């Protein structure tokens, strides 16, 4: 783990001085703002609400607007992590400092996870706003954010991996977007496959189904285990890739 903390700090700093991070965040918040506006407008016209289908539940669970942007935002956040360092050559001083591959990978990865979480932070205001004009189930808010974080953490790990495997940022972003899209599509299989193993499998990996559950306050540990797998496996491959550069 040697090298983790300085790399984590530098990576956070690097994100906030690049315009791309701000563009991605702004675009993300614009979409979420529009999303929230549409939901509120929809519910404003309804007279009575059932307990588990209010605006908060809808925000996290019922529409694709919430995580469709993740397909673009996560690859943009992760694409430069390693690809940029390899293109500019700064990977050489980095890896010839007394650091361990795991420290380098985790430092970079956790920095983007923090940025990702920070990106969601302003949306908490929506919940505060709703709370002022009605009832908000904070348990549902908590499980909703937990799911958003768990799913995003997996997407970011995939992006970290493709950034280490690809030599250009563009390839890194495209391949991670494709991988995330693929994962999402398998989940859609839940609605397509006939009843049986295929549908069960699709249901388990489905981000859509996970958001639906968590937006109702149902925290299913099997889903969290799956999310953890999507974090750990790509990160393990990334560490091995960094090790392999020394043997190239």
Binding site for another protein (CB under 8 A): 2-3, 5-7, 9-10, 13-14, 17-18, 88-90, 92-100, 245-248
Minimum CB separation of residue 172 from another protein in Å reads 18
CB atoms within 10 A of CB 144: 24
Cβ–Cβ < 8 Å for 223, 208: no
Minimum CB separation of residue 237 from another protein in Å reads 19
Closest C-alpha to 99, from 1, 8, 9 = 1
Sign of the dihedral defined by the CA atoms of residues 127, 158, 181, 202, in that order: negative
Q: Which is nearer to another protein, 45 or 93 (CB)?
A: 93
Cβ–Cβ < 8 Å for 168, 83: yes
Q: How many angstroms separate the CA atoms of 245 and 96, rounded?
A: 12
Minimum CB separation of residue 239 from another protein in Å reads 15
Q: Which is nearer to another protein, 94 or 186 (CB)?
A: 94
Minimum CB separation of residue 163 from another protein in Å reads 16
Q: Which is nearer to another protein, 41 or 96 (CB)?
A: 96
DSSP state of 2: T
Q: What is the DSSP string of 163-198?
A: HHH-SSHHHHHHHHHHHHHHHHHHHHGGGTSPTTHH
Q: Which is nearer to another protein, 85 or 227 (CB)?
A: 85
The residue whose two tokens read 């280490």 is: 164
Q: Which is nearer to another protein, 17 or 44 (CB)?
A: 17
Tokens of 136: 């908000």
Minimum CB separation of residue 3 from another protein in Å reads 6
């Amino acid at each position: 783990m040697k090298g983790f903390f300085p790399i984590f700090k530098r990576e956070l700093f690097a994100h906030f001085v690049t315009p791309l991070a701000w563009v991605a965040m702004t675009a993300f918040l614009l979409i979420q703002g529009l999303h929230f506006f549409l939901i509120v407008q929809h519910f404003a016209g309804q007279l009575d609400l059932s307990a588990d289908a209010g605006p908060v539940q809808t925000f996290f669970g019922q529409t694709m607007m919430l995580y469709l942007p993740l397909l673009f935002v996560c690859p943009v956040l992760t694409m430069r992590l390693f690809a940029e360092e390899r293109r500019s050559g700064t990977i050489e001083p980095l890896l010839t400092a007394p650091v361990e591959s795991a420290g380098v990978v985790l430092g970079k990865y956790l920095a983007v996870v923090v940025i990702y979480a920070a990106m969601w932070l302003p949306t908490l205001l929506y919940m505060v706003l709703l709370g002022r004009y009605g009832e908000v189930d904070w348990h549902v808010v908590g499980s909703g954010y937990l799911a958003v974080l768990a799913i995003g953490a997996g997407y970011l790990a995939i992006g970290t991996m493709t950034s280490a495997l690809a030599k250009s940022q563009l390839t890194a972003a495209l391949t991670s977007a494709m991988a995330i899209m693929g994962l999402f599509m398998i989940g859609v299989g839940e609605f397509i496959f006939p009843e049986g193993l295929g549908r069960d499998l699709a249901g388990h990996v489905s981000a859509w189904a996970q958001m639906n559950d968590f937006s109702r306050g149902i925290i299913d540990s099997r889903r969290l285990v799956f999310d953890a797998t999507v974090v750990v496996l790509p990160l393990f491959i990334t560490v091995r890739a960094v090790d392999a550069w020394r043997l190239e």
